[in-house]
Structure 1
Amino acid sequence: MSDSQQTEYDPGPDSSALEPAQDTELARGLRDEIDSHDRDLSGFHLLHDGLSAFVARAALVREASISLDLKYYIYSDDTSGRILTGLLLQAADRGVRVRLLVDDLGTRVANPRILALESHPRIQIRVFNPVEGRSGLRRGLEQLLNFGRINHRMHNKLLVCDGNVAITGGRNIADGYFSKAETEFLDVDIITVGAVVGDASKTFDDYWNSEVAIPVTELAFTNDQTCSLEELREQVGEYLAGARQSEFTRALEKSDLAEKLKTGAIEFHWGKGTLFADPPRKAIDRASVPVSEYPGARLEKILRQCERKVRITNAYLIPGVPGVDLFSALQNANVQVDILTNALATNDVAVVHGAYSRYRKPLLRSGVNLWELRPMAEQKQRLHWFKGKSRASLHAKTFVLDDDRAFVGSINLDSRSIIQNTEIGVLIENPQINRQLDELFDTWTGPDAAWQLSLNKRENIRWTAAGEDGEQVVEKRDPETRWWQRLLARLLSRLPIESQI
Structure 2
Amino acid sequence: MHRVFHWLAIVLLVLLAIVVGGLLVVNRIAPPATGAPSHALPSQPDQTGIDRELSPLLAAHPGKTGAIFLTDGIDAFAARAISARKAGRSLDLQYYIWHNDLTGRLLASEALDAAERGVRVRILLDDMNAYGLDGHLLAMDAHPNIELRLYNPFRNREGAGRAFELMRRLVSMNHRMHNKAWIADGQVAIIGGRNIGEQYFSADSEVNFRDLDLLLLGPAVQQASTIFDAYWNSAAAVPISMLGSKDPEALRTLLADVHRDARGADARRYLDHVADSQLVRDYYRSALQPHWSDGIQVVADPPVKWTRDNHAEWLVERLTPMISSATSEALVISPYFVPGDDGTARLTALTGRGIHVGIVTNSLAANDVYAVHSGYADYRDRLLREGVNLYELRTNARDRKEPVFIGRRAALHTKAFVVDGARGFVGSFNVDPRSKNLNTEMGVLLDDPVMALQLREEYLRLSHPALSYWVYRNKEGELRWLDRTPPSPVVLDQEPDAGFWRRAFVRFSGWLPIESQL
Give the TM-score category using the shorter length: over 0.9
What is the CA–CA distance in structure 2 between the aligned matches of 1:65 and 1:267, rounded to whole Å?
A: 23
Instruction: Confirm or deny that 1:45 pairs with 2:32.
Output: no
SS of the counterpart of 1:358?
A: helix
SS of the counterpart of 2:354?
A: coil
What is the CA–CA distance in structure 2 between the aligned matches of 1:240 and 1:174, rounded to whole Å?
A: 14
Q: Tell me if structure 2 keeps the 8 A contact 1:60–1:258.
A: no
Q: Tell me if structure 1 keeps the 8 A contact 2:209–2:412.
A: yes
Q: Tell me if structure 1 keeps the 8 A contact 2:334–2:359.
A: yes
Q: 1:491 aligns with which of 503, 508, 513?
A: 508
Q: Counterpart of 1:376?
A: 396
Q: Tell me if structure 2 keeps the 8 A contact 1:21–1:162.
A: no
1:264 positional shift? 5.8
What is the CA–CA distance in structure 2 between the aligned matches of 1:200 and 1:159, rounded to whole Å?
A: 9
What is the CA–CA distance in structure 1 between the aligned matches of 2:321 and 2:405, rounded to whole Å?
A: 43
What does the per-residue CA deviation read over 1:6-41, in whole Å, with 9 as the maximum and x for residues that have no partner?
Answer: 7132422100000124313322222222222242x3
1:193 positional shift? 1.5
Q: Tell me if structure 2 keeps the 8 A contact 1:243–1:249.
A: no
Q: Tell me if structure 2 keeps the 8 A contact 1:29–1:264.
A: no
Q: Counterpart of 1:422?
A: 440
1:153 positional shift? 0.1
Q: CA RMSD in A?
A: 2.2
The within-5 A match list for 1:72-471 is 72-108=95-131, 110-181=133-204, 182-220=206-244, 227-229=250-252, 231-243=253-265, 245-255=267-277, 257=279, 265-271=287-293, 272-282=295-305, 285-287=306-308, 289-377=309-397, 380-386=400-406, 389-467=407-485, 469-471=486-488
Q: Tell me if structure 1 keeps the 8 A contact 2:49–2:87.
A: no
- Superposed structure 1 runs of 4+ greater than 6 Å apart: none
Unmatched runs of 5 consecutive residues or more in structure 2: 1-21
What does the per-residue CA deviation read over 1:300-327, in whole Å, with 9 as the maximum and x for residues that have no partner?
Answer: 1111222111111100000011011100
What does the per-residue CA deviation read over 1:153-208, in whole Å, with 9 as the maximum and x for residues that have no partner?
Answer: 00000011001010010000010011122221111000011221011000000000
Does 149-158 or 11-20 show the bigger shift?
11-20
What is the CA–CA distance in structure 2 between the aligned matches of 1:44 and 1:56, rounded to whole Å?
A: 12
Q: Counterpart of 1:32?
A: 56
Unmatched runs of 5 consecutive residues or more in structure 1: none
Q: Tell me if structure 2 keeps the 8 A contact 1:29–1:261.
A: no
1:233 positional shift? 4.8
What is the CA–CA distance in structure 2 between the aligned matches of 1:494 and 1:259, rounded to whole Å?
A: 52
Q: Tell me if structure 2 keeps the 8 A contact 1:163–1:197.
A: yes
TM-score by length of structure 1 reads 0.93
Q: Tell me if structure 2 keeps the 8 A contact 1:164–1:194.
A: yes
1:385 positional shift? 4.6
SS of the counterpart of 2:129?
A: coil
Q: Tell me if structure 2 keeps the 8 A contact 1:377–1:444.
A: no
SS of the counterpart of 1:370?
A: strand
1:140 positional shift? 2.6
SS of the counterpart of 1:317?
A: coil
SS of the counterpart of 1:133?
A: coil
Q: 1:122 to 1:262 in 2, by over 3 A?
A: farther
What is the CA–CA distance in structure 1 between the aligned matches of 2:182 and 2:399, rounded to whole Å?
A: 28
What does the per-residue CA deviation read over 1:316-349, in whole Å, with 9 as the maximum and x for residues that have no partner?
Answer: 0000110111001111222211000011111100
Q: 1:185 to 1:244 in 2, by over 3 A?
A: closer
Q: Counterpart of 2:15?
A: none
Q: 1:19 to 1:244 in 2, by over 3 A?
A: farther
Q: Tell me if structure 2 keeps the 8 A contact 1:397–1:410.
A: yes
What is the one-letter code of the residue matched to 1:74? I
Q: Counterpart of 2:84?
A: 61
1:243 positional shift? 4.4
TM-score by length of structure 2 reads 0.90
What does the per-residue CA deviation read over 1:202-225, in whole Å, with 9 as the maximum and x for residues that have no partner?
Answer: 00000000111000011135x679
What is the CA–CA distance in structure 2 between the aligned matches of 1:95 and 1:452, rounded to whole Å?
A: 52
Give the total of aligned pairs: 492
1:378 positional shift? 7.1
Does 201-210 or 26-35 show the bigger shift?
26-35
What is the CA–CA distance in structure 1 between the aligned matches of 2:493 and 2:66, rounded to whole Å?
A: 46
